[in-house]
Chains A and B, each alone.
Chain A
């Protein structure tokens, strides 16, 4: 496991990092947690001419809620920071459900949420969570910053719309209008396994009624799937069994799984539906308990 030769740079500011990117003609890669990039390089699936290690840039390891409830996750916030976060536990139920099931404890100590979004692995857990929450990233390049919705960011397996000279600075979850509810269920073969199927359901509740909903699917298509129609079908319902069946059905139809050694396409669709139902029922139950 020996990577090809590469140049290593460790800038201390975002501007320096962008300048290095801009000068590299698309031959450079940002190194965040390294938990996806380093294995790819060791297998020589990736052979960037230059690595730009952003771990020395101060002030990117945050995650916090703004006064209005907007939740921000800096580019160097690790999976483990989120797993242990009280803020997350208190205000972001879908994320809190996902944090402990991303990879394994070793990987979580170094891997980053933003890196996971930029890596655009169809089996990445965070992307579906963010899609279900209507989240976005803030990208910065030589000409300044722009926001990109996560559902637009990923445009294929391991492909994003980021320009060669852009860095993702942070991920953003918009403030909720209603009460946030949600969950993430992942079928994995063992701890640290990528999802055979992952389902993120996020909802904003006003009383017992869904005012807004999002569903993201992991591992059942060439990229993260935004099951918008399924999510839309939940709006206005109180997550009763019939509404959940409809959403489950629509989500299963939105999935584009392949048969492989993890399971048949039909089975994966079936699990998508089952998980949508289970998360929905769980939201509905906890709503009743709170009331």
Chain B
């Protein structure tokens, strides 16, 4: 009798999350829960100004406070060649400022003290003499001919331009535009947002002089990369470095980069020979760490009057802040921006991109997306809506005409990506049916006659996930594979470790389900561990929805290696040749004599007690998985809204989501990911942004200004699914961690623009705050381009 896969918690089981047992009971082990004997506390002094020369730093009063153990400044770091560190994008970033401060909130000094209160007192006692310089807060200012040079520390850098980049077929695209019946143009800004995990960043560095070992507990999504970086930058031997990433209170990409706080806590521990704890506060996190987006688009589409897209041109201007420290592993300067339009069969495409330095926090492209994919898909779907309206065509019909057809796979996009599977039309139709598209259009017409503004917005997209294959993706030369190691104990219980690092995605639950699916070992018998570089196999960590596509695949592959060995043991136990062994979930039997069989657990004990002659004992293995391609989930999100014409306030009426993420390992977790993502999408569309005033003051460095939606205003979501297995992933999964965050925002924005369509408005920049919507309605013009906030006296 075969095992019931759902009962043992295999593929498709909506198993409760095992990690929630400790989280719900308050028994998680987060960075701030960790207390080491003799531990000191570090606080960071941050710059109040966006751009200023540092004339002097006087820390004598801080040193004089009882309980202050050390004050670290840029000069001290410079003496050890540590004042600057390399970024993941081949730039440099100040650890502690020496010459200038380049954004508000930049790290200027650190105080280490007996407790965090004293450390904070120490920070307050430091006197920094600043000479203010004119701040630059957007690309236009950065590119002005007389703009002050932000990166005067870099030899050869004579402007604020970080890069100029292009990809695609310029001439082919020009030809497509020459043949077009209609050219549709739109400009917009995707505002700066922040991942804002509920737990900010932190570290405890513990250098032991006697053993020469450095242990660092650290909020990181990628512990192995950090170990490599510490080994390279601090020139410490790699085997003497242990990075432990404990339970993480969310990451969303914010915990991929290396931040000054980590570096200085390590140095302080080495100098003081005591554990040094740094816990960032929420404002510090919002003002200084890896943000998302902040990019401007000029988009053009060449259209044929029958609705076909002949060509696409995009130009982006990205604002990187003071240091180019995008944490993205591709060779492409604007990440995967050119994955835009992958779900459509477009003719030719060309992208030009420029990046600039500004006096804003660095460390971009985080926040629940694979390296600019969020912006790419948002721009795509906003351009598509504008194009449909320029053609006078129904927005659903326009999509249907241009979506890649099921029998066109594999499909090579004009920008060179290869999509391999999907049922795009089916997803769109399912979404339209669920929302009651035709009915809603009628309701909308009716409502309009009574002065009410209803709107419907659609967003369809496929996005590239996984951040691997190793040919095209690497971090500082390290290839983007991932790994798993499985040890099946004597009694058939197992320990699984991977190179990924869960931050709320539920790896402890889902990885065990993959093992259950492959081996028939009940999921509850599999313990999953991640995050400790001394025990976990080398891996690139968790971001870009890459865990299931890459580490998850490694889990399946290592399970298969174990099964292959168990099969040999089974043949030995059943005294038949291997060819005569058949596998059903959890059990090997003799071909033709199904009653004669052994379970996987019986093979496990035999691996330690009764293995065949010449076989190595034990039942353990590991697998490194280098994916052949990215994975391409598809989604169709549809939102309906009502706009109050008098105030510009808009309410969401319904949201329908159709996701095809391939095979679903744990449907409950998948749905949780989609709902979370749609909540973030709604937040970005409706309320969330980090902006700056003309002086470079960050508006959004606390939760009164940077808004996270609550359960109260977040709309309900109606979820539907289509399953097209990924052809190259061992269990057919495509990843789901970011789809809704990526594809969701355009659905909301498109709905609002649709509702006020009569006003002749093509764009309102996110967030669609009531005053922007009201301005668009009353003035009948676009509200685009996010100037710095002017504060009147």
Interface 1/0 per residue, B610-638 and A, CB below 8 Å: 00000000000000000000000000000
Chain A residues whose C-beta falls within 8 Å of the C-beta of B648 in the assembled complex? 267
Chain B residues whose C-beta falls within 8 Å of the C-beta of A187 in the assembled complex? 647, 649, 770
* 11 A-B pairs in the complex with CB atoms less than 8 angstroms apart: A2-B116, A44-B120, A104-B710, A189-B687, A259-B791, A261-B691, A263-B769, A263-B770, A265-B792, A267-B648, A270-B774
Stretch of A26-34, A80-88, A190-198 on the interface side: A190-198
Query: Least Cβ distance of B7 to chain A in Å?
Result: 41
Stretch of B259-267, B665-673, B701-709 on the interface side: B701-709
Apart from A260-B789, A264-B775, what are 16 other A-B pairs with CB-CB below 8 Å? A2-B43, A2-B116, A2-B117, A4-B121, A187-B647, A187-B649, A187-B770, A189-B687, A196-B770, A261-B699, A262-B769, A264-B771, A265-B792, A268-B771, A271-B770, A274-B646
Are B707 and A267 within 8 A (Cβ)? no
Q: What interface size band does chain A fall in?
A: 20 to 34
Query: Least Cβ distance of A2 to chain B in Å?
Result: 4
Instruction: Judge whether A119 is part of the interface by a CB distance below 8 angstroms.
Output: no
Instruction: Judge whether A7 is part of the interface by a CB distance below 8 angstroms.
Output: no
Instruction: Judge whether B446 is part of the interface by a CB distance below 8 angstroms.
Output: no
Majority secondary structure of chain A interface residues (helix, strand, loop or mixed): loop
Are A259 and B704 within 8 A (Cβ)? no
Q: A258-B792, A264-B771, A265-B792 given as contacts; is B710 within 8 A of A192 (CB)? A: yes
**B121, B647, B771: which contacts A262 (Cβ < 8 A)?**
B771
Are B647 and A271 within 8 A (Cβ)? yes
Chain A: CB-nearest residue to B703: A192
Are A44 and B769 within 8 A (Cβ)? no
Interface 1/0 per residue, A180-207 and B, CB below 8 Å: 0000000101111110100000000000
Closest 4 CB pairs of A and B: A263-B771, A267-B771, A191-B712, A2-B120
Chain B: CB-nearest residue to A47: B124
Instruction: Judge whether B281 is part of the interface by a CB distance below 8 angstroms.
Output: yes
Are A189 and B769 within 8 A (Cβ)? yes
The CA-CA distance from A268 to B646 in the complex, in Å, is: 12
Chain B residues whose C-beta falls within 8 Å of the C-beta of A263 in the assembled complex? 769-771
Are A259 and B792 within 8 A (Cβ)? yes
Q: What interface size band does chain B fall in?
A: 20 to 34
Instruction: Judge whether B713 is part of the interface by a CB distance below 8 angstroms.
Output: yes
Query: Least Cβ distance of B698 to chain A in Å?
Result: 11
Which B residues, 505 to 521, have Cβ-Cβ distances below 8 Å to chain A?
none
Are A189 and B771 within 8 A (Cβ)? no
Chain A residues whose C-beta falls within 8 Å of the C-beta of B27 in the assembled complex? none
The CA-CA distance from A190 to B707 in the complex, in Å, is: 8
Interface 1/0 per residue, B688-700 and A, CB below 8 Å: 0001000000010
Which A residues, 51 to 84, have Cβ-Cβ distances below 8 Å to chain B?
none
The CA-CA distance from A65 to B117 in the complex, in Å, is: 46
Chain A: CB-nearest residue to B115: A2
Instruction: Judge whether B790 is part of the interface by a CB distance below 8 angstroms.
Output: yes
Are B704 and A274 within 8 A (Cβ)? no
The CA-CA distance from A265 to B775 in the complex, in Å, is: 12
Query: Least Cβ distance of A48 to chain B in Å?
Result: 15
The CA-CA distance from A1 to B117 in the complex, in Å, is: 9
The CA-CA distance from A255 to B311 in the complex, in Å, is: 51
Chain A residues whose C-beta falls within 8 Å of the C-beta of B686 in the assembled complex? 189-190
Are B790 and A259 within 8 A (Cβ)? yes
Are B117 and A274 within 8 A (Cβ)? no
Are A267 and B774 within 8 A (Cβ)? yes
Chain B: CB-nearest residue to A265: B792
The CA-CA distance from A194 to B790 in the complex, in Å, is: 20
Are A191 and B769 within 8 A (Cβ)? no
**B124, B713, B775, B792: which contacts A190 (Cβ < 8 A)?**
B713
Are B770 and A193 within 8 A (Cβ)? no
The CA-CA distance from A263 to B792 in the complex, in Å, is: 12
The CA-CA distance from A196 to B705 in the complex, in Å, is: 11
Chain B residues whose C-beta falls within 8 Å of the C-beta of A267 in the assembled complex? 648, 770-771, 774-775
Q: A187-B649, A260-B791 given as contacts; is B704 within 8 A of A193 (CB)? A: yes
Which B residues, 95 to 122, have Cβ-Cβ distances below 8 Å to chain A?
116-117, 119-121
Interface 1/0 per residue, B591-614 and A, CB below 8 Å: 000000000000000000000000
Chain B residues whose C-beta falls within 8 Å of the C-beta of A268 in the assembled complex? 771
Chain A residues whose C-beta falls within 8 Å of the C-beta of B117 in the assembled complex? 2-3, 5
Chain B: CB-nearest residue to A192: B710
Chain A residues whose C-beta falls within 8 Å of the C-beta of B283 in the assembled complex? 1, 43
The CA-CA distance from A238 to B59 in the complex, in Å, is: 68
Q: A261-B705, A267-B775 given as contacts; is B791 within 8 A of A191 (CB)? A: no
